[in-house]
């Protein structure tokens, strides 16, 4: 079993999507042919971009093409689950491309595993985070009027191989969320580690913590 951590740095969304597709298709093909393969955890940031999932609603994007151009952002319709979300500098995006069967994971448990990793990173900084009923992702102050999202999750799975993943707000410019209804919610806030702690967090520090927690959770799932 091989699990490789890849840091792609700041990469345009379309380039990352294409590279994901190559790794995803390679893994699926190797799996079908009974050949050896590598599982990947990809870490990166993107220039300003909005992505709309398969079940997303166009009206949750509040800007037209000209307005998007004015804020140096673009919009992509993509093949993950979920509605609309934002990616940009200061946000850690993580794309695990893994064979779920190798880790004895169903899709729902896998999504919980991603959430657990982010909840663990938040705890390292003294922040209590958790899940919210009827919503994916990681939230703060769930069950209160102050509920706000710190991490969005949207995945695609085919042949029990995953792509896409999570978007964790670290030093994110949260103004960009005001141009959408994030994940389709009109009454919930968005936050970042920087906003909660009132200081900038080194991105490499977060990358190391998240990758480490994901590896531990995946290995423990496989051992069960």
* Cβ-contact 76, 17 below 8 angstroms: yes
pLDDT of 188 above 70: no
Tokens of 67: 């307005």
Catalytic positions, written as ranges: 183
In the chain, % of residues over pLDDT 90: 68
Q: Is the pTM of this model over 0.85?
A: yes
- How many whole angstroms separate alpha carbon 144 and alpha carbon 162? 33
The whole-number pLDDT of residue 114 equals 97
pLDDT tens readout for residues 1-33: 689 999 999 999 999 999 999 999 999 999 999
Superfamily of domain 3-217 in CATH is Bira Bifunctional Protein; Domain 2 (3.30.930.10)
d(CA 84, CA 63): 13
Domain range summary for the chain, segments of one domain joined by +: 3-217
Please give the DSSP secondary-structure letter assigned to residue 186: S
Model pLDDT for residues 72-111, shown as the tens digit of each residue:
888 878 777 677 889 999 999 999 999 999 999 999 999 9
């Amino acid at each position: 079993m091989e699990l490789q951590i890849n840091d792609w740095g700041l990469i345009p969304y379309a380039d990352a999507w294409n590279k994901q597709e190559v790794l995803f298709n390679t893994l699926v093909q190797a799996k079908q042919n009974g050949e050896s393969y590598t599982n990947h955890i990809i870490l990166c940031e993107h220039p300003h971009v909005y992505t709309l999932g398969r079940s997303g609603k166009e009206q949750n994007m509040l800007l037209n093409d000209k307005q998007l151009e004015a804020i140096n952002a673009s919009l992509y319709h993509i093949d993950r689950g979920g509605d609309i979300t934002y990616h940009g500098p200061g946000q850690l995006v993580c794309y695990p491309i893994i064979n779920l069967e190798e880790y004895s994971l169903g899709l729902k448990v896998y999504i919980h595993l991603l959430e657990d990793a982010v909840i663990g990173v938040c705890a390292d900084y003294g922040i209590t985070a958790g899940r919210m009923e009827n919503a994916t992702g990681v939230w703060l102050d769930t069950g209160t009027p102050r509920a706000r999202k710190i991490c969005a999750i949207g995945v695609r799975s085919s042949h029990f191989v995953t792509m896409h993943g999570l978007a964790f707000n670290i030093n994110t410019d949260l103004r960009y969320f005001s141009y959408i209804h994030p994940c389709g919610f009109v009454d919930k806030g968005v936050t970042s580690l920087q906003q909660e702690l009132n200081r900038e967090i080194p991105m490499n520090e977060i990358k190391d913590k998240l990758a480490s927690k994901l590896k531990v959770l995946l290995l423990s799932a496989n051992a069960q």
